[in-house]
């Protein structure tokens, strides 16, 4: 092939050299006003264009050289004073040139001047020229010749307001001329496909596409003729152009020209001729990419609609939507082999169009989705990734447009489209939906919408196939589930009955999620339910619902079931926390038995499931902290639970932790409320027990390391003594406090104890606190006064 | 002037979907020098988000945090002030000022920041200041009814700290401020 290109280069160079050669002599002739010589040499120069050896892009270069020279020639021709021949005679004279191609170039050149001179009507000259050009039937040569004709005639068309308009010459004549030139050029262009050396099809198509703009230019010209108004476009221009497009039966030309029509003519025209334009589509060759053509058209019309609200009524008036959707339906039906991605892309374009032009017509949107569903149903397994991407685009469009998931949820075909997605894509789409909800801070407030939503996102909620869960990256899985957890908080209705329904629906769906998903979803749902309980606390009386009366008790039953399900994971630490939350909520509702049950469950988990020592420390503190706040328990119940809490506190693994948990328990016997328990004795018992443990810890540290452990624990206990002293616990005496301070000092200054700045500072600030209390005056000051430092 | 953002108890995703939009638009990267977070974020995404607001991020462990390795307590010095940070579920009774004061003495700090109750408070006592920034998302709390989303911004300047509290009440952000002054500068421990 390299050889071929080298040859072509050589021929082009030869051709250019030839042109330059003859042009030189032509210029001499022009300078000496020698018409005969000028004609002779110009004809010879133009003969270089008779070559058939060059491919289009090289022929173009040759043509451009000749074109430049012809301009100078035209100037010469125009000036009669130089050569003394009238333009009429000149027109006849040039026809004596030997070969037809040079003859016609010269004729066109003179023709240009002829029209300018107005010695003959423009329409006559133009008609003559366009028909004479038929003499050249070679595709490339003919195309360039006619292109030349189009170029020089451009400013001489008898358009409205042009100087060439007359009684006989009208716009119609201009249009006729251009149409005819266009038709002939298209025929030549199409012929290229079947002519020439038996080369590779791709090569031929490439060469053809290099020439496409020559043909398309005519349409451009038509669009710019002032006199071509909507009427003329509708009655004459479009039908004639389409006739040529359809009849040429060439897929390359058809595709290019349809696209050209759409790009070149104004959108308002397309709207008004929609039917005509669309009816051409089924008539095109089956190999033409009609869907792209339609997509382009719809995209243009979408943009047109977006440009200004004033144009929207026009769309309605011409029934654009139904025409377009019918056309698309026909195309898809006709092209059975159209790949899925093509059909869906079409629907995406149609949907974009619909959302722009008829955003309020949800029924139209639903129709488009429905048509897509129909197409998808005919495909056994949609595996093409690009097609999937297009479906995601289709489903995302309404979300972006309406910024409100609820609107999308009302589209009956929306879930049906999603059903056709494979699991992976379903999850992608589900995340898109959730993100849309988050971004817009949407709130979904009815049970039936929640139902639809959870059906849509079912890929995230449960395993549809066995394959999935293992394959998914852990980070991604977490992200997914956290998104679902967050989603749950956007589901809300302040009507308790409706809210309970919502909770039940979510529970129904999430229960099938399996052990991996439950920890995420159960937590969110539990707190959602607790909020409802809180709300009911504020309301008077029970709310009797249709099926389920909405009472806190009923909700607690639900809560228990939800938390119980965590045992399948298992998630004992989480379950313990949630039971305690419920206990506190039950306390607020005055449900002693329910609260007691929750504590029982929490203790069971503590005893049997929570083995890690650090986890135990936190867990026991949560139990103590919650229990401390309970006011619903009777003495017996309270005692049982307190006893258990203290017992477990004393049995923690490390002495340090034991000590702290035990003195925390002291607060179980003292609640600062009006009716709160204030058992000074048991408080002191706890503190003393803590002290014993601290002592034991100190001994152990001495033995083990040969030096004492931190004295901090003693200072902590001292602070607790002071706390209850201040609150008025009579069992705590100032001498006990003094004794404790002395103990701390002893331990601190003991030889075996290593210096510890932290406990020193702690003691110092504690003593400062005592001093400060002394100086307070009144009752508090007096009390503290008794402490001798 | 050093700006310190104090916030916590977001409970994302278990009790809240996200920070309120009005808070989000106020919290812009590059304006704050330190962030102290009482805990209960609860997921890494929240930590990452806070990190984008300010790289100097301090977090203590809440009982629902996904990351179990956050410390139980933390102390740091900013300017003339020593700050202490702790989630607060460890201090029983929950929300009890005197018990929190004990923790303050133990940590030896001027300002103690704790959470857990989801209720904004700022107390001054002879030992220093105890601040609770509340819940930045207004998350459900068993302790506090009617939680309004809130966070705290401290402006530390020499011996003075101005505590700004931002609360979202009925859809509007309300700001309040409290002044605290230290009497003596922080001395380094000479033990």
A585 has a chain B CB within 8 A of its CB: yes
Q: B9, B14, B88: best mutation site toward chain A, by most A Cβ within 10 Å?
A: B14
Tokens representing B163 are: 């505590």
Cβ-defined contact of A486 to B140 (cutoff 8 Å): no
Nearest chain B residue to A775, by CA: B126
Q: What is the pLDDT of residue B5?
A: 98
Residue B184: exposure state from Cβ atoms within 10 A (0-12, 13-18, ≥19) = exposed
Q: What is the pLDDT of residues A676-722, one digit of tens each?
A: 889 999 999 999 999 999 999 988 877 776 655 678 999 999 999 99
The Cβ-side half-sphere exposure at B128, using a 13 Å CA radius, reads: 27
Tokens representing A320 are: 């654009």
Q: What is the pLDDT of residues A79-92, one digit of tens each?
A: 888 888 888 889 99
The ipTM assigned to this model is 0.95
DSSP string, A764-778: HHHHHHHHHHHTT-H
Cβ-defined contact of A629 to B143 (cutoff 8 Å): yes
- Distance from C-alpha of A37 to C-alpha of A30, rounded to nearest angstrom: 8
Q: A726, A765, A773: best mutation site toward chain B, by most B Cβ within 10 Å?
A: A765
**Helix, strand, or coil (residue B181):** strand
Residues 6+ apart with CB under 8 A from A50: A99, A101, A102, A141
- Distance from C-alpha of A715 to C-alpha of A721, rounded to nearest angstrom: 10
Sign of CA dihedral A711, A717, A720, A724: negative
* A667: DSSP letter: G
Distances from the Cα of A786 to the Cαs of A41, A728, A771, A789, in angstroms?
A: 132, 14, 11, 9
Give me the percent of chain A exceeding a pLDDT of 70.
95
- C-alpha B81, offset from chain centre: 15
A264 has a chain B CB within 8 A of its CB: no
- Distance from C-alpha of B102 to C-alpha of A725, rounded to nearest angstrom: 14
In this prediction, residues A641-656 reach a mean pLDDT of 96
Distances from the Cα of B167 to the Cαs of A252, A256, A465, B136, B164, in angstroms?
A: 67, 63, 47, 9, 10
Distances from the Cα of A34 to the Cαs of A12, A85, A117, in angstroms?
A: 30, 11, 22
- Distance from C-alpha of A305 to C-alpha of A321, rounded to nearest angstrom: 12
pLDDT by residue for chain B (191 residues), tens digit each? 899 999 999 999 999 999 999 999 999 999 999 999 999 999 999 999 999 999 999 999 999 999 999 999 999 999 999 999 999 999 999 999 999 999 999 999 999 999 999 999 999 988 899 999 999 999 999 999 999 999 999 999 999 999 999 999 999 999 999 999 988 765 443 33
- Distance from C-alpha of A748 to C-alpha of A458, rounded to nearest angstrom: 64
Q: How many CB atoms lie within 10 A of CB B26?
A: 14
User: Widest CA span of chain A, in angstroms?
Assistant: 140
A628 has a chain B CB within 8 A of its CB: yes
């Amino acid at each position: 092939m390299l050889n071929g290109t080298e040859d072509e280069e050589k021929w082009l160079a030869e051709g250019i050299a030839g042109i330059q050669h003859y042009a030189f002599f032509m210029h001499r002739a022009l300078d000496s006003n020698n018409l005969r010589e000028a004609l002779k040499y110009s004809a010879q120069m133009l003969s270089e264009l008779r070559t058939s050896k060059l491919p289009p892009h090289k022929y173009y270069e040759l043509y451009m050289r000749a074109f430049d020279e012809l301009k100078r020639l035209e100037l010469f021709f125009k000036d009669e004073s130089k050569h003394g021949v009238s333009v009429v005679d000149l027109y006849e004279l040039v026809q004596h040139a030997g070969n037809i191609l040079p003859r016609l170039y010269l004729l066109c050149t003179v023709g240009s001047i002829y029209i300018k001179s107005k010695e003959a009507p423009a329409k006559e000259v133009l008609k003559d020229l366009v028909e004479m050009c038929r003499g050249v039937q070679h595709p490339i040569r003919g195309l360039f010749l006619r292109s030349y004709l189009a170029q020089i005639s451009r400013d001489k068309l008898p358009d409205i307001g042009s100087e060439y308009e007359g009684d006989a010459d009208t716009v119609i004549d201009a249009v006729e001329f251009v149409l005819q030139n266009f038709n002939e050029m298209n025929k030549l262009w199409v012929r290229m496909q079947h002519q020439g050396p038996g080369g590779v099809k791709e090569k031929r198509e490439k060469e053809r596409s290099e020439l496409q703009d020559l043909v398309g230019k005519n349409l451009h010209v038509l669009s710019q003729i002032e006199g071509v108004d909507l009427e003329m476009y509708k009655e004459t221009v479009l039908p004639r152009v389409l006739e040529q497009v359809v009849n040429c039966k060439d897929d390359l030309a058809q595709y290019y020209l349809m696209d050209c029509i759409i790009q070149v003519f104004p959108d308002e025209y397309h709207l008004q001729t929609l039917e005509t334009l669309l009816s051409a589509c089924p008539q095109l060759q089956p190999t033409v990419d009609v869907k792209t053509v339609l997509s382009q058209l719809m995209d243009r019309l979408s943009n047109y609609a977006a440009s200004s609200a004033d144009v929207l009524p026009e769309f309605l008036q011409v029934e654009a939507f139904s025409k377009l959707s019918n056309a698309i339906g026909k195309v898809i039906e006709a092209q059975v082999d159209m790949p899925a991605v093509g059909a869906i892309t079409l629907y995406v374009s149609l949907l974009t169009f619909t959302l722009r032009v008829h955003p309020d017509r949800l029924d139209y949107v639903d129709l488009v989705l429905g048509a897509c569903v129909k197409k998808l149903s005919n495909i056994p397994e949609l595996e093409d990734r690009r097609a999937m991407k297009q479906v995601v685009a289709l489903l995302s469009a309404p979300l972006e447009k309406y910024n409100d998931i609820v609107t999308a949820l009302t589209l009956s075909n929306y879930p049906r489209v999603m059903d056709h997605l494979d699991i992976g894509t379903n999850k992608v789409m589900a995340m898109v939906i959730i993100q849309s909800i988050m971004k817009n801070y949407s709130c979904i407030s009815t049970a039936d919408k929640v139902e639809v939503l959870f059906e849509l996102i079912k890929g995230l909620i449960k395993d549809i196939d066995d394959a999935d869960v293992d394959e998914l990256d852990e980070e991604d899985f977490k992200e997914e589930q956290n998104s679902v957890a967050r989603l749950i908080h956007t589901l809300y209705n302040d009507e308790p009955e409706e809210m309970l329904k919502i909770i039940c629906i979510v529970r129904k769906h999430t229960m099938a999620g399996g052990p991996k998903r439950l920890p995420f979803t159960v937590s969110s749902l539990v707190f959602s339910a607790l909020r409802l309980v809180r709300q009911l606390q504020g309301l008077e009386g029970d709310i009797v619902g249709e099926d389920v009366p909405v009472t806190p008790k009923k909700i607690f039953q639900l809560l228990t079931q939800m938390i119980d399900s965590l045992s399948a994971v298992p998630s004992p630490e989480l379950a313990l926390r949630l039971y305690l939350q419920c206990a506190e909520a039950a306390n607020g509702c005055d449900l002693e038995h329910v609260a007691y049950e929750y504590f029982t469950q929490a203790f069971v988990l503590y005893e049997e499931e929570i083995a890690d020592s650090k986890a135990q420390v936190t867990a026991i503190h949560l139990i103590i902290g919650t229990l401390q706040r309970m006011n619903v328990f009777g003495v017996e119940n309270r005692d049982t639970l307190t006893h258990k809490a203290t017992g477990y506190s004393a049995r923690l693994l490390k002495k340090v932790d034991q000590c702290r948990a035990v003195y925390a328990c002291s607060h179980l016997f003292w609640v600062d409320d009006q009716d709160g328990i204030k058992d000074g004795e048991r408080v002191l018992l706890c503190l003393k027990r803590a002290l014993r443990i601290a002592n034991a810890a100190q001994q152990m540290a001495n033995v083990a390391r040969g030096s004492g452990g931190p004295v901090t624990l003693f200072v902590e206990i001292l602070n607790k003594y002071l706390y209850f002293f201040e609150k008025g616990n009579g069992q705590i005496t100032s001498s006990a406090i003094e004794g404790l301070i002395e103990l701390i000092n002893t331990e601190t200054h003991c030889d075996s104890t290593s210096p510890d700045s932290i406990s020193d500072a702690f003691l110092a600030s504690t003593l400062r606190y005592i001093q400060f209390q002394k100086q307070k005056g009144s009752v508090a000051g007096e009390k503290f006064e008794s402490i001798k430092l | 002037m050093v700006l310190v953002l104090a916030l916590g108890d977001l409970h994302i995703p278990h009790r809240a979907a996200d920070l309120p939009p009005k808070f989000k638009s106020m919290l812009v990267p590059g304006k704050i020098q330190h962030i102290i977070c009482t805990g209960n974020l609860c997921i890494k995404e929240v930590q990452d988000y806070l990190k984008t607001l300010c790289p100097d991020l301090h977090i203590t462990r809440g009982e629902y945090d996904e990351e179990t390795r956050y410390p139980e307590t933390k102390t740091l010095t900013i300017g003339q002030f020593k700050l202490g940070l702790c989630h607060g579920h460890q201090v029983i009774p929950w929300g009890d000022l005197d018990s929190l004061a004990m923790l303050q003495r133990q940590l030896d700090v001027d300002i103690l920041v704790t959470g857990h109750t989801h209720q904004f408070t700022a107390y001054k006592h002879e030992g220093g200041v105890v601040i609770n920034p509340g819940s930045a998302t207004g998350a459900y709390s068993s302790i506090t009814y009617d939680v309004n989303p809130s966070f705290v911004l401290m402006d530390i300047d020499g011996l003075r700290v101005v505590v700004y509290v931002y609360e979202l009440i009925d859809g509007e952000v309300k700001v309040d401020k409290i002044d605290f002054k230290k009497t003596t500068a922080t001395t380094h421990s000479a033990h």
